[in-house]
């Protein structure tokens, strides 16, 4: 045969971009275990385990807590297309790419889109949501991104959740880059529907979208006058497969992905959420200290910076593409560039799940130092590593980069 396709072995990579993140060998091993049928009682136990552990990580008792087949965007689409019917007024907070994606889906559902905007890098202000709610008459849904991966902004949710209660609106939250990486309390904060993805802070390959909905949200779905526009993501059909006692075939579950998610969630439970959040915060603070010594400043506004996605502004003399190419080709390290109008202006460095380690922070900083030194952008080696090490030695120095203390956690 001419030109046979070769065996593929990927080069070693350190994944420090906006996802996928590094995957633990235990998760990779779980994916390689033999298949079961999707209605096999032994597989149904895997689904039960996944549901139970997802409830723990979402901090919810919602019975309807599942993993949608597909990546994070499938979770976004599932939440929105099931809750929205043509003509429904929907407020969407848009301060980055993923808020804009939510708005695009609302439009396609025929929802009456009310955009509440903030500049990229800033949070959506609760008073702007309040204004939109009092100005617009009854609003069915308010949709917000908890962790804006395009800007590194961490959106406070509790005040807005209370506003939603007062106005009888449902709160839908995108937790793709927060679930398992920073505090998220679905029940306590009053989030009605929340979705995520597997390849970010849960450190599982991409392919499933955890999703949870409370009774208020489910009642809206049950009360629909028109069928959901998507057959594949129609949660009233999907639910029959995830409900104990029913287990009716809808589509074949991605068996190996569910094995992987189960193992990834077991790793989360072994570490414990509090320890996991503290680890993300510390490594982010050390990285930011190191980057600051290289002249790279945080893009997101103070007090609202994600520990999982570190977005930094490049000084004008620092070239984006050549540095990222060197990192990848010479050092095997992937980081993310800017999206949309931020292209060439920022880097997005993910420290999510397995990727958030001291070793990875120091490895990236030393690679950057070497590249910067070669281009004479810095005068001597060691400054970034020094700054990061100082932070690891006395973590309180990084206090200014901390998230606001979560209340009620
Ligand atoms: C990555 C991401 C998504 C989309 O997830 P995919 O897995 O790429 O489909 C949605 N929202 C946010 C905030 C994300 O970071």
Token representation of residue 333 = 């390290």
Does residue 265 contact residue 50 with C-beta atoms inside 8 Å?
A: yes
State pTM to two decimals. 0.95
Is any atom of ligand 1 closer than 6 Å to the C-beta of 339?
no
Taking the centre of ligand 1 as the mean of its atom positions, its distance from the CA of residue 125, in whole angstroms, is 22
According to the model, what pLDDT value does residue 396 have?
78
DSSP string, 63-128: SEEEEEES-HHHHHHHHHHHH--TT-EEEEEESSHHHHHHHHHHHHTT-EEEEEE--TTSPPPHHH
Reference 131, options 94, 110, 154, 160; nearest CA is: 160
Is any atom of ligand 1 closer than 6 Å to the C-beta of 73?
yes
Domain with CATH 3.90.1150.10 in the chain: 273-394
Peptide bond into 20 cis (omega under 30): yes
Distance from C-alpha of 203 to C-alpha of 28, rounded to nearest angstrom: 11
Is any atom of ligand 1 closer than 6 Å to the C-beta of 72?
yes
Distance from C-alpha of 48 to C-alpha of 242, rounded to nearest angstrom: 8
19: phi then psi, degrees, rounded to nearest 5: 115, 145
Domain at 25-269, CATH from 3.30.70.60, 3.40.640.10, 3.40.50.720, 2.60.40.60: 3.40.640.10
Query: Ligand 1 pocket check: which of 102, 177, 233 to mutate, most ligand atoms within 8 Å of Cβ?
Result: 177
348: phi then psi, degrees, rounded to nearest 5: -120, 110
Q: Using the atom order of ligand 1, give the atom closest to the CA of residue 96.
A: 13
Reference 197, options 182, 217, 177; nearest CA is: 177
pLDDT range class, residue 44, cuts 50, 70, 90 = very high
Give me the architecture of the 273-394 domain, per CATH.
Answer: Alpha-Beta Complex (3.90)
The yes-or-no verdict on residue 379 having pLDDT over 50 is: yes
Q: Using the atom order of ligand 1, give the atom closest to the CA of residue 71.
A: 7
Helices (H), 190-338: 215-222, 235-242, 255-271, 273-293, 320-331
309: phi then psi, degrees, rounded to nearest 5: -135, 110
Is any atom of ligand 1 closer than 6 Å to the C-beta of 401?
no
Domain with CATH 3.40.640.10 in the chain: 25-269
According to the model, what pLDDT value does residue 408 have?
40
pLDDT range class, residue 244, cuts 50, 70, 90 = confident
Q: What are the tens digits of pLDDT across the range 182-241? A: 999 999 999 999 999 999 999 999 999 999 999 999 999 999 999 999 999 999 999 999
């Amino acid at each position: 045969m001419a030109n046979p396709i070769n065996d593929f072995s990927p080069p070693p990579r350190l994944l420090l971009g906006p996802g996928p993140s590094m995957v633990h060998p235990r998760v990779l091993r779980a994916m390689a275990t033999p298949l079961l049928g999707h209605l096999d009682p032994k597989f149904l136990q895997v689904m039960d385990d996944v549901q139970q552990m997802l409830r723990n990580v979402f901090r919810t008792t919602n019975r309807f807590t599942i993993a949608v087949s597909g990546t994070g965007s499938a979770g976004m689409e599932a939440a929105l297309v099931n809750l929205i019917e043509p003509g429904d007024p929907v407020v969407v907070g848009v301060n980055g790419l993923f808020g804009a994606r939510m708005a695009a889906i609302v439009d396609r559902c025929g929802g009456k889109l009310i955009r509440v905007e903030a500049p990229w890098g800033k949070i959506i202000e609760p008073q702007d949501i309040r204004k939109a709610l009092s100005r617009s008459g009854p609003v069915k849904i308010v949709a917000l991104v908890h962790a804006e991966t395009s800007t590194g902004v961490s959106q406070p949710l509790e005040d807005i959740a209370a506003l939603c209660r007062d106005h009888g609106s449902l709160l839908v939250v995108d937790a793709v880059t927060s679930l398992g990486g920073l505090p998220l309390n679905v029940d306590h904060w009053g989030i009605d529907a929340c979705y995520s993805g597997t390849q970010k802070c849960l450190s599982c390959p991409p392919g499933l979208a955890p999703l949870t909905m409370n009774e208020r949200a489910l009642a809206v779905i049950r009360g629909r006058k028109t069928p959901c526009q998507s057959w594949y993501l129609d949660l009233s059909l999907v639910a029959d497969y995830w409900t104990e006692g029913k287990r009716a075939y809808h589509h074949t579950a991605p068996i190996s992905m569910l094995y992987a998610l189960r193992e990834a969630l077991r790793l989360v439970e072994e570490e414990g959420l509090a320890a996991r959040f503290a680890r993300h915060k510390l490594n982010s603070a050390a990285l930011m200290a190191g980057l600051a010594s290289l002249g790279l400043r945080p893009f997101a506004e103070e007090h609202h910076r994600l520990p999982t996605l570190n977005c930094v502004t490049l000084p004008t003399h620092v070239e984006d593409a050549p540095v990222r190419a060197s990192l990848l080709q010479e050092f095997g390290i992937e980081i993310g560039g800017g999206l949309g109008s931020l292209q060439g202006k920022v880097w997005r460095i993910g420290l999510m799940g397995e990727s958030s380690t001291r070793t990875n922070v120091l490895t990236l900083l030393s690679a950057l130092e070497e590249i910067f030194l070669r281009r004479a952008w810095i005068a001597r080696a060691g400054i970034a590593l020094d700054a990061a090490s100082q932070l690891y030695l006395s973590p309180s120095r990084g206090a200014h980069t901390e998230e606001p203390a979560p209340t009620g956690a």
